[in-house]
Amino acid sequence: MGKRAGRIYCAGPLFNDKEREEMAQVARALEDAGFRTFLPQRDGLELTRCLDALTEKGFEKEQAADMLCEAIFALDVYQLLEGCHGIVVNLNGRVPDEGAVSEAAMAWTEGKAIVGYKADGRSAFVGRDNPLVAGLFDFKMCHSVRELVPAMRIALSAAKSQEERKSRRRRQIECYLTLGERLSAALQSEDKADSVARVLFEDSRCKKMHQVEWHLPRAK
């Protein structure tokens, strides 16, 4: 991809050796394809050293820990929203890592290129992920590391400028608000289930007719 390849934030769990190795594998796959990456376990703050440095400067340990929590948040938000062009989110596990979900939500709001990765069959909703998490990825997931690179290339190519990305996201949010309003009205009817099904049927037909532009195709 050349010297100006996009930089990708790698989000996911990193609290044991297996999780850290899996995150390193995600980063390597992207780097081998020419992307640059921000991998928090490698490129972020070294907590123990930073904590020791702060206590050596006279801060109480608890105060130093509070300062580091804010520092981690600030660094990760900056890298995610300013330092990187997109994000790959590792959702493996019965419940996704809460920090990664928070980062995914921030990236989604900003209209960043976002790709979900889940090779784990466990889920909270009988074979399906929590809709409020899955929706951040247009209800599509990569199920192997090799799918990440083509998926990210497609996501990055969707909009070149920050304003284009934000404009696309605003339109998506407006359409979800419209659908949510119609569903809310359907729930006030006597036959709730039938009314909801009718709304979803009509919404599905509308999407097919107009080929909703924010639902990006996934590379095969």
- Laid out side by side, the sheet with 36-38 consists of 36-38, 7-11, 86-90, 113-117
Examine residue 146 and state whether it is found in any structural domain, yes or no: yes
Residue 10 bridge partners (DSSP)? 88
Residue range 26-50: mean pLDDT, rounded? 94
Dump pLDDT digits (tens) for 130-155: 899 999 999 999 999 999 999 999 99
196, part of any domain: yes
CA pair distance 62, 204, nearest whole angstrom: 53
- Evaluate whether residue 219 is within a structural domain: no
* Shared-domain flag, residues 130 and 187: no
Domain of residue 19, CATH code: 3.40.50.450
Is residue 54 included in any domain, yes or no? yes
Instruction: Give the pLDDT band of residue 25 (cuts 50, 70, 90).
Output: very high
- Shared-domain flag, residues 146 and 174: no
Are 151 and 184 members of one domain? no
Bridge partners (DSSP) listed for residue 87: 9, 114
Examine the domain organization and report whether 82 and 179 are in the same domain.
no
Tell whether 112 and 186 lie within a shared domain: no
Q: Is the pLDDT of residue 210 over 70?
A: no
CA dist 163 and 71 (Å) reads 28
Residue 158 has pLDDT above 80, yes or no: no
Same domain, 124 and 42: yes
State how many domains the chain has. Answer: 2
d(CA 179, CA 175): 6
Are residues 120 and 183 located together in one domain of the fold?
Answer: no
Distance CA 135, CA 138 (A): 5
Structural domain boundaries, residue 82: 7-157
* Tens digits of residue pLDDT in 93-144: 888 999 999 999 999 999 999 999 999 877 766 668 889 999 999 999 999 9
The verdict on 45 and 146 lying in the same domain is yes
The verdict on 133 and 179 lying in the same domain is: no
